[in-house]
């Protein structure tokens, strides 16, 4: 494993109230995976990330990042990680190339090597077209690519990306996903936070769901969905709904059953084995089947089951 945390905590004291932003997080991230932190805004994702990136001192708990102890040797951690904040990190008046050279030098390499690395990053992140213009002229997507190129200029073992696609148009977003996958394929561990369900689903090898400063679930997208909700089978019935409901209610493989418009929604453990059984039952009872559809439960179903709220409804979810 490349990141391990034990009981990591952080509170922020205001004048009147104390906000417990992170309330005991135990986390394991494996080397070479894209690990996603999913949760609504204010769940404590960014605070956790900033602690792991040495920007905030934890109030309690332990963490090891890239084989270095976070609390005892933050300097070592810094050498081994990259961090890309949500709000950007470039200075408007300088060019991406200047920023890249400077960033490389901050890690202690000489000018020639820094220039070589900057050139390499410009190629790898396809910044050629604008790398020598001042940063203030960049589009949102270009800026974000530069941010990430800066974050990995020293080839860190882990890179933390805080909401890397927030505010990007769909095309830039797809491009960003490709960049993240490329980093993973080059052997880097990528730790991202997101409040986009589809992003966690499509991009992340493993996901931890965070809510109110605590982890509520952890696993691959498929595991999480299977663990929580099984599969969903929607059956279209042409007027035979009451009879079918009565029939299927008693079947052992049906966990839950809901009547919907012109049909039924069945929650089952595994759709692939349930579908033939459903077909057989209905056929045996002489009930006419209009259509049958298998849905995988979404991560939102998982979030709903774990927190009692839908991520879509808790503010910024999409």
Partner 1 sequence: MKLVRDTWMVFTRQMTLVLRNPVWLIVGLMQPLYFLLLFGPLLKGALRMSAEDAYRFFVPGLLVQLAMFGTLFVGFGLIAELRAGVIERMRVTPVSRLALLLGRSLRDVVTLLVQAALLTVLALPFGLSVRAGDLFLAFALLALIALMLSAVSYALALKLRSEDALAPLMNAVSMPILLLSGILLPLSGWLKTVGEWNPFTYAVNASRALFAGDPGNANVWKALVIVSVLAVAAAAWAARSFARSVR
Q: How far apart are CA 170 and CA 140, in angstroms?
A: 12
Is 69 a binding residue for partner 1 by CB under 8 A? The answer is no
Q: How far apart are CA 214 and CA 10, in angstroms?
A: 11
| Binding map of partner 1 across residues 119-138, x = CB under 8 A, - = no contact | --------------------
Q: Which is nearer to partner 1, 105 or 116 (CB)?
A: 105
Q: Which is nearer to partner 1, 92 or 185 (CB)?
A: 92
273 contact partners, CB below 8 Å, separation of at least 6 = 253
- Residues that bind partner 1 (rule: CB under 8 A) add up to a total of 29
Q: How far apart are CA 67 and CA 76, in angstroms?
A: 9
Q: How far apart are CA 207 and CA 220, in angstroms?
A: 6
Q: Which is nearer to partner 1, 53 or 96 (CB)?
A: 53
| Binding map of partner 1 across residues 241-260, x = CB under 8 A, - = no contact | --------------------
- What's the closest the beta carbon of residue 84 comes to partner 1, in angstroms? 8
Buried b vs exposed e over 150-180: b needs ≥16 C-beta within 10 Å?
Answer: bbbbbebbbbbbbbbbbebeeebbebbbebb
Residues 91-120 that bind partner 1 (CB under 8 A): 91-94, 102-103, 105-108
List the one residue out of 107, 104, 135, 141 whose CA is nearest residue 119. 104
Both structure tokens of 203: 């991009």
Q: Which stretch binds partner 1 (CB under 8 A): 79-87, 165-173, 288-296, 308-316?
A: 79-87
CA of 95: how far to CAs of 111, 139, 157, 273, 284, in Å? 16, 13, 26, 58, 72
- Composition of the chain by helix, strand, coil, percent to 5: 35, 30, 35
Q: Which is nearer to partner 1, 93 or 185 (CB)?
A: 93
Single residue of 13, 14, 16, 87 touching partner 1 by CB under 8 A: 87
- What's the closest the beta carbon of residue 151 comes to partner 1, in angstroms? 8
Single residue of 38, 53, 203, 302 touching partner 1 by CB under 8 A: 53
Is 54 a binding residue for partner 1 by CB under 8 A? The answer is yes
Is 74 a binding residue for partner 1 by CB under 8 A? The answer is yes
List the one residue out of 125, 151, 159, 149 whose CA is nearest residue 34. 159
Single residue of 9, 10, 45, 78 touching partner 1 by CB under 8 A: 78
Residues 141-170 that bind partner 1 (CB under 8 A): 150, 154
Q: Which is nearer to partner 1, 83 or 130 (CB)?
A: 83
Q: Which is nearer to partner 1, 103 or 165 (CB)?
A: 103
Tell me the H-state helices in 208-318.
Answer: 221-229, 241-249, 271-284, 299-307
* Residues within the interface to partner 1 (CB under 8 A): 53-57, 74-75, 78-79, 81-83, 85, 87-94, 102-103, 105-108, 150, 154
């Amino acid at each position: 494993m490349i990141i391990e945390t034990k009981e990591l905590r952080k509170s922020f004291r205001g004048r009147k109230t104390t906000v417990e932003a992170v309330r005991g997080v135990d986390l394991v991230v494996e080397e070479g995976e894209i690990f996603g932190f999913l949760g609504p805004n204010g769940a404590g994702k960014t605070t956790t990330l900033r602690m792991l990136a040495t920007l905030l001192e934890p109030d309690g708990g332990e963490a090891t990042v890239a084989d270095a102890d976070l609390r005892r040797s933050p300097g070592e951690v810094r050498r081994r990680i990259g961090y890309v904040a949500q709000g950007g990190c470039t200075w408007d008046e300088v060019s991406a190339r200047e920023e890249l050279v400077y960033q490389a030098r901050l890690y202690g390499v000489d000018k020639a090597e820094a220039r070589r690395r900057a050139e390499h990053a410009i190629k790898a992140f396809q910044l050629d077209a604008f790398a020598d213009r001042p940063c203030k002229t960049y589009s949102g997507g270009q800026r974000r690519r530069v941010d990430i190129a800066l974050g990995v200029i020293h080839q860190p073992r882990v890179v933390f990306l805080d909401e890397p696609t927030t505010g990007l148009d769909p095309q830039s977003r797809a491009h960003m996903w490709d960049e993240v996958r490329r980093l993973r394929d080059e052997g880097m561990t990528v730790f991202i936070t997101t409040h986009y369900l589809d992003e966690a689903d499509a991009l992340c090898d493993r996901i931890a769901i965070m809510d109110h400063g605590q982890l509520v679930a952890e696993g691959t997208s498929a595991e999480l969905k299977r663990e929580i909700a099984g599969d969903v089978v929607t059956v279209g019935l042409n007027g035979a709904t009451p009879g079918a409901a009565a029939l299927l209610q008693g079947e052992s493989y049906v966990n839950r059953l809901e009547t919907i418009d012109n049909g039924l929604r069945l929650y089952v453990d595994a759709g692939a084995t349930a579908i033939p059984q459903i077909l057989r039952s209905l056929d045996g009872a002489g009930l006419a089947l209009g259509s049958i559809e298998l849905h995988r439960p979404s991560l939102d179903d998982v979030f709903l089951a774990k927190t009692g709220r839908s991520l879509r409804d808790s503010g910024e979810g999409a």
